[in-house]
Amino acid sequence: MSESHGLASHSFTEARSLGTAEAGVSSSLRKLIGTIILVITVPVYALIAMVIGVAMLPGVNFWWQLVYYVVAGLLWVPPAGLLVAWMARADRRVEG
């Protein structure tokens, strides 16, 4: 009984540090990598989408231009969402 009480008395931080090791990329490194990727790719994507729109859409009906810019404006969101989910993922721990 005293042994189980002794285990329960460990703080959460101590329990996490006992017998665990980080595996893979750390959370802070994932956030740094993801931020750099987003900061570079989103403006580049926006410029490419704008250049395509300006080159392909002059003289096209307003409604088709609107459809293009709405789709092009939202197309980056799912990949960015996956990247943000990867960045926010908790560090994996391996029992040791």
Over residues 45-69, the pLDDT tens digits come to 999 999 999 999 999 999 999 999 9
pTM strictly above 0.85: no
Interhelix angle for 27-56 vs 62-74, to 10°?
170
- Measured distance CA(86)–CA(80) in Å, rounded: 10
Residue ranges of the domains in the chain?
A: 23-91
Average pLDDT score, the chain: 81
Res 2 pLDDT > 60: no
